[in-house]
Chain A
Amino acid sequence: MAVMTYREALNLALREEMRRDERVFVIGEEVGLYEGAYKVTQGLLKEFGPRRIVDTPIAESGFTGVGIGAAMVGLRPVVEMMTFNFAMLALDQIVNSAAKMNYMSGGQFNVPIVIRGPGGPAHQLAAQHSQSMEVYFYHVPGLKVVRPSTPADAKGLLKTAIRDDNPVIFIESETLYNIKGEVPEDPEFTIPLGQAAIRREGTDVTVIAYMGMMYRALEAAEELAKDGISIEIVDPRTLQPLDTGTILASVRKTHRAVVVEAGAGFAGMGSELSAVITEQAFDDLDAPVERVTGADMPMPYNHHLEAQCIPDAARAIAAIKRALYLE
Chain B
Amino acid sequence: MAQTKTAAPATRLDAELARRLLTQMSLIRRFEEKAAEMYALGKIGGFLHLYIGQEAVAVGAMSTIRPDDYAISSYREHGHCLAKGSDPRRVMAELFGRRDGLSKGKGGSMHLFDKSVNFLGGHAIVGAHLPLATGVAFAIKYRGGDQVIACYFGDGAVPEGEFHEAMNLAALWKLPVIFLCENNRYAMGTSLERALAETEIFKFGRSYNMPSETVDGMDVLAVREVVARAVARARADGTPSLIEARTYRFRGHSMRDPAGAVYRTKEEVEREKQRDPIVLFRERALAAGWLSDNDLREIDKGVNDLVDEAVAFADASPEPPESELLTDIFKDAERSGS
* Interfacial residues, chain A to chain B (CB-CB below 8 A): 25, 51, 56-57, 59, 61-75, 92-93, 96-97, 101-110, 112, 141-142, 144, 165-166, 194, 240-244, 276
Contact = CB atoms under 8 A, between A and B. Distances in A.
19 contacts: A61-B165, A62-B134, A62-B166, A65-B134, A72-B120, A73-B120, A73-B140, A75-B142, A92-B125, A97-B132, A102-B328, A104-B107, A105-B103, A105-B113, A105-B122, A106-B101, A107-B104, A112-B331, A165-B330
Contacts, number: 156
B224 interface: no
B113 A93 contact: no
Contacts of A64: 131
Contacts of B131: 61-66, 68-69, 93
Nearest to A65: B131
Contacts of A57: 168-169, 172
B337 A244 contact: yes
Contact of A65 (B111, B128, B330): B128
Given A106-B107, A241-B338, 18 more contacts: A57-B168, A62-B166, A62-B168, A65-B134, A66-B131, A66-B138, A69-B120, A69-B137, A69-B139, A97-B129, A106-B104, A106-B328, A108-B113, A142-B329, A194-B336, A242-B338, A243-B337, A276-B338
Nearest to A59: B165
A70 B113 contact: no
Given A65-B134, A109-B113, A194-B337, A92 B128 contact: yes
A66 B72 CA distance: 13
A165 B332 contact: yes
Contacts of A25: 142
B303 interface: no
Contacts of A165: 330-333
A66 B169 contact: yes
Contacts of B122: 104-105
Interface of B: 70, 101-107, 111, 113-115, 120-123, 125, 128-140, 142, 161-162, 165-166, 168-169, 172, 327-333, 335-338
Given A165-B332, A241-B338, A105 B169 contact: no
A68 B121 CA distance: 13
Contacts of A110: 331
A72 B172 CA distance: 22
Contacts of B161: 61
Given A72-B132, A242-B338, A166 B331 contact: yes
A188 to B, nearest CB: 20
B3 to A, nearest CB: 29
A49 B31 CA distance: 49
Contact of A75 (B101, B139, B172): B139
A118 B330 CA distance: 25
Nearest to A113: B135
B135 A66 contact: yes
Of B123, B133, B140, B328, most buried by chain A (CB within 10 Å of CB) is B328
Contacts of B168: 57, 59, 62
Contacts of A96: 125, 128
Contacts of A70: 135-136, 138-139, 142
Nearest to A192: B336
